[in-house]
Amino acid sequence: MDQGSHNGNGAGRFSGEQEMVFPELPERMVCYPDPRLREACAPIEDFDDSVAALAERMLQIMKTGDGVGLAGPQVGVCRRIFVCNPTGRPEDDRVYINPELLDLVGTVEAEEGCLSLPEIRAVIHRARKGRIRAVDVNGEPFEHDGQDLIARIWQHENDHLGGRLIIDRMDATDRIANKKQLAYLEAQFKG
Ligand code: ZN
């Protein structure tokens, strides 16, 4: 759902004290098999300016990578936040913080990619539609209903927040088709 790669500079912010709210974002996308992609992310609880700055930066990184979605762990931020834009139009930028997926119904399969899994493609079964409950960058709650592509993006990105990747969901055929590339990514990884 997010696919490609990117380069970018960090946009770390500090809270009022000395504690850093979010780490400096990495120069490169966090890619498989980086263990940071496998952690369950903590909710965001403080909604200061750094949250909006993080969301803005994530949208930029997503677009640079030609992605339609990007989750916190992919930029080294293990917090429950993801951004998406299913159309590429600026007015369709969306930010979901502390999301919950509800009322998922139907099953459809479609091919997905992931910015953290370069060159990997896999057919993934997802619910066709559902509802998302989340808060915005100011901590204000909202709910949206969605179907097809947007619902698929929600499910893909929400998986990231629980440390789950498309390679966990792909079938045996795709596992074989992607075996070489996964081995390559593992060999490239320098911990
Ligand atoms: Zn992904």
pLDDT at residue 75, rounded to an integer: 95
Q: How far is the CA of 127 from the centre of ligand 1 (A)?
A: 17
Can you tell me the distance from the alpha carbon of 191 to that of 174, in angstroms, rounded to the nearest whole number? Answer: 26
* Active-site residue, selected from the candidate residues 27, 100, 157, 186: 157
Q: How far is the CA of 69 from the centre of ligand 1 (A)?
A: 7
pLDDT in tens, 82-123: 999 999 999 999 999 999 999 999 999 999 999 999 999 999
| Residue among 146, 162, 170, 12 nearest 68 (CA) | 146
Can you tell me the distance from the alpha carbon of 188 to that of 191, in angstroms, rounded to the nearest whole number? Answer: 9
Map out the domains of the chain with their CATH numbers.
13-188 (3.90.45.10)
Return the HEC string of 78-143.
CECEEEECCCCCHHHCEEEEEEEEEEEECCEEEEECCCCCCCCCEEEEECCEEEEEEECCCCCEEE
Let me know if 157 is a catalytic residue: yes
Quickly count helices (H) and strands (E) in the chain: 4, 9
pTM of the model: 0.88
| Residue among 165, 153, 158, 176 nearest 35 (CA) | 165
pLDDT in tens, 1-18: 676 333 333 333 333 333
- Residue 28, pLDDT above cutoff 90: no
pLDDT at residue 190, rounded to an integer: 83
pLDDT in tens, 150-188: 999 999 999 999 999 999 999 999 999 999 999 999 999
Q: How far is the CA of 67 from the centre of ligand 1 (A)?
A: 9
Q: How far is the CA of 186 from the centre of ligand 1 (A)?
A: 17
